[in-house]
Each structure stands twice: as C-alpha cells, then as structure tokens.
Amino acid sequence: MEKSVLIVDTSDELSLNRSHVWGNFREKILSKNSMCRIIHFYKGGMTSVHRHPVNEILFVEEGSVKCLMGTNLKRLQSKIIKQGQSLEIPSMWWHSCGCKSPMNNKKYSLAFEMVTGKISEGKYRIEKAEPAVKSVVREKNE
C-alpha cells in the first residue's frame, strides 16, 4: 500500500506573531476543524487559566512546559511535559501552560499545538478565570 503525505505550505498563510505577556505564537488554519500553532513559552510566563470548546494536543519540542489542568477550577492538577512528550487537553477543561525550563541557553520552551473542533476560522469562545502571568524575559524576533 502506498503511503500518502500531506504537505502544508505555510509560507504565505502563517499568521504574524501574536505576542502575549507569557510568550508568543504563530498559527495556521488547516481546515474548518483543525489548526496548528508554534508556541514560544517564555521563562516565568504562564497563559491565563482558561477553557474553550476545542481540543488541544500539546507537543514539546524544546525544554519543558508546566500545565495546570482539570475540570474543577479549584483543584487543577499540575503536569510537567518534557521534550518529546505530548499532552491532550480535552475541550472545556480549565488549563494554563508556561515554560517550566528552557533548553540550550534559550529563554523559552518551544511547543507545537494541534487544535481540533469547531474553530470557525480560528475564532472560538475562550472563557478566562485567572489572568496570564507575565514572563520575566522577552526575546526579540522569536
């Protein structure tokens, strides 16, 4: 049986950097139900504690990422995802992610995220419970 390969050209459709206090990301809409992101989680930063009606799979490429997650906002579990590991965050689970430890003298952890569900061209409702934590460092042109 012949293997098939999907090649996605992101050269002209990858969004501009979206900077946040915790880091930044670029994203690519692949279909009406899927999107991928390249994420730099900067040292000391954490995303807001939030939830949304889409699923996420986070794969850590460099460093390690700390995630808080769970269905009960008052009892979120802490998980550390190391380089080469992944974590699934089901839709409507509370979660927050950030850099646990950078790698190779960098100031961030690098992760890839796959988002699936009704993404409506990258726009979906995000319910925030706690604000993001500002990173202690910022990297130019990352």
Which secondary structure element, helix H or strand E, spans residue 80, and what is its range?
Answer: strand 77-82
Could you tell me the pTM of the whole model?
Answer: 0.83
Percent of the chain with pLDDT over 70: 85
| Mean pLDDT to the nearest integer, 90-99 | 97
What mean pLDDT value characterizes the chain? Answer: 86
Question: How much is the pLDDT for 116?
Answer: 95
* Mean pLDDT within 99-106: 88
The reported pLDDT for the residue numbered 17 is: 62
| In contact, 28 and 14? CB cutoff 8 Å | yes
Q: How far apart are CA 110 and CA 100, in angstroms?
A: 11
pLDDT score for 30: 87
- What pLDDT score does 55 carry? 97
Inform me whether the pLDDT recorded for 83 exceeds 60.
Answer: yes
- The predicted-structure confidence for 31-40, as pLDDT tens digits, reads as follows 889 999 999 9
CA distance 128 to 46: 13
Residues 81-101 have a mean pLDDT of 97
How far is it between the farthest Cα atoms of the chain? 51
CA distance 73 to 71: 6
pLDDT value at residue 11: 47
Domain boundaries, the chain: 18-130
Cα angle 50, 130, 17; round to 5: 60
Q: What is the pLDDT of residue 123?
A: 79
Domain 18-130 has CATH 2.60.120.10: yes
